[in-house]
Structure 1
Amino acid sequence: MVDKNVLRKVYLEKRLTLSDDELETRNINILKQTLAHFDFSQYKCIHTFLSMVEKKEVNTHLIVAKATDVNEALTVVTSKTLKDGQLEHYIVDDDLRVETNKWGIPQPVQGTLADISKIDIVLVPLIAFDKVGHRIGYGKGYYDRFLKKIPHATKVGVSLSPPLDLIPYSNEHDVELDFCITPHKVYKFQ
């Protein structure tokens, strides 16, 4: 049986084969799906990851820009990885300074710390997901640990590809998604 590390590698490589035009088309379609299914006027605080452009991640900037157009009072939060396996969270505002770390992840290096209890929706990074809400991330568990701290928040994966039928490697540490947005459909779980 293929394990998570093999699936992670295969799906990362597949994503890297997308042409720039195809990537742009999928990102625009994800934005359309997002706006059709989520009313950002009902949220107070959204957490987002900052996209790794060179790894052809979903462009979360497009989603957040439209969400804040709809709701000017929406607080945007992002995070950085810490050596202890946790995430530290910052408000996205004029004081935020971002740099790319050694793994190619853009993350805050200076800014205002955020209160995660106020987050009510999270855009969750992933490499692949399945039809029941399991996901394969980058393998360090940062988001699973973070999401366990905010069980009240809506957990929304964003994926350039459709789901796998089932990822059979889930364990008690994995936090399932509530939704996953793809270019063609929004999947709702549970």
Structure 2
Amino acid sequence: MQNKEELRRHLLKVRQELSDERRRSGSASICRKIVEWDTFLTSDTVLFYMPIRREVDVRPAIEKAWSFGKTVVLPRALPETREMKLFRVDSFEELQPGAYGILEPLEDEAKAVEPERIRLAVVPGVGFDRRGYRLGYGGGYYDRFFARAGHAVRLGVAYSEQVVATVYPLPHDQPVHYLFTPGETLAF
């Protein structure tokens, strides 16, 4: 691969071709790691995401967070500014398809959460490298969020097949602090 766009296409294809069993078992393994992790256990406000396009399914970790009494936060994409607005979510029934077809929280100002309140951010990616840099879909949403919530612990989650030598990071790209795959726990 010579650039981000080629790598993105390649990794999306690789993820799409993972078997259902591989995705189920990999997601379950990653969720177990999350909910047993000290950083998760001590974080009162956790940002998750709703999986699309065969991303790691973190819904079991979300359910566990609710059962532990944590504040679960999900993003709502704002395409006009390419930013995410964050909202507390108390059940999956509060979600509806958003701008990109991703299940998102309703626009409810009473449940809005400032990025500074996030203690742990669990983030997906098309790919990650072994320095913690993340390759997303190209919109820059998470990079903008990271810039506003610099104190939050950033945890990337991915299948092993999504970890590569480099994702061609740019100067403004911000790495995750940790990366969980089914077989590895990496700290950066």
Q: Same fold (TM over 0.5)?
A: yes
Q: Measure how far apart 1:180 and its partner are.
A: 0.7
Per the TM alignment, residue 147 of structure 1 is displaced from its structure 2 partner at its CA by 0.8
Q: Distance in 2 between matches of 1:123 and 1:156?
A: 5
Contact 2:76 2:98 in 1 (8 A): no
Which secondary structure state, in structure 2, belongs to the residue aligned with residue 29 of structure 1?
helix
How far off its partner does 1:107 sit? Answer: 1.4
* Cα drift, residue 173 of structure 1: 1.6
Q: Is the 8 A contact 1:96 1:110 kept in 2?
A: no
1:93 and 2:90 aligned: yes
Give, in whole Å, the separation in 1 of the partners of 2:45 and 2:10. 34
Cα 1:102–1:116 change in 2 (3 A) is closer
**How does the TM-score come out when normalised to structure 1?**
0.89
**2:112 match:** 113
TM-score normalised by structure 2 residue count: 0.89
Secondary structure of 1:110's partner?
coil
With over 3 angstroms needed to count, the CA separation of the structure-2 counterparts of 1:96 and 1:152, relative to structure 1, is farther
Correspondence list, 1:11-160, <5 A:
11-52=11-52, 55-69=53-67, 71-72=68-69, 74-82=70-78, 83-93=80-90, 97-111=94-108, 112-160=111-159
State the alpha-carbon separation in 1 of the partners of residues 93 and 23 from structure 2. Answer: 27
CA RMSD of aligned residues (A): 1.9
Given the superposition, is the C-alpha separation of residues 101 and 67 from structure 1 closer, same or farther in structure 2, using an over 3 Å criterion?
Answer: closer
Instruction: State the identity %.
Output: 28
Partners of 1:44 and 1:118 within 8 A in 2? no
Q: Is the 8 A contact 1:96 1:108 kept in 2?
A: no
1:166-185 matched pairs, under 5 angstroms: 166-167=166-167, 169-185=168-184
Q: Tell me, which stretches of 5 or more residues in structure 2 are unaligned?
A: none
Q: For the structure 1 residues 22 and 155, does the alpha-carbon distance in structure 2 shift closer, same or farther, using more than 3 Å as the test? A: same
**Counterparts of 1:88 and 1:45 in 2: how far apart (Å)?**
15
After alignment, is 34-43 or 144-153 more displaced? 34-43
Q: Is the 8 A contact 1:180 1:188 kept in 2?
A: yes
Distance 1:12 1:42 in 2: 33
**Unmatched 5+ residue regions in structure 1?**
none
Q: CA deviation at 1:101?
A: 3.1
Aligned pairs, how many?
184
- The DSSP-based 3-state class of the residue aligned with 1:176 is coil
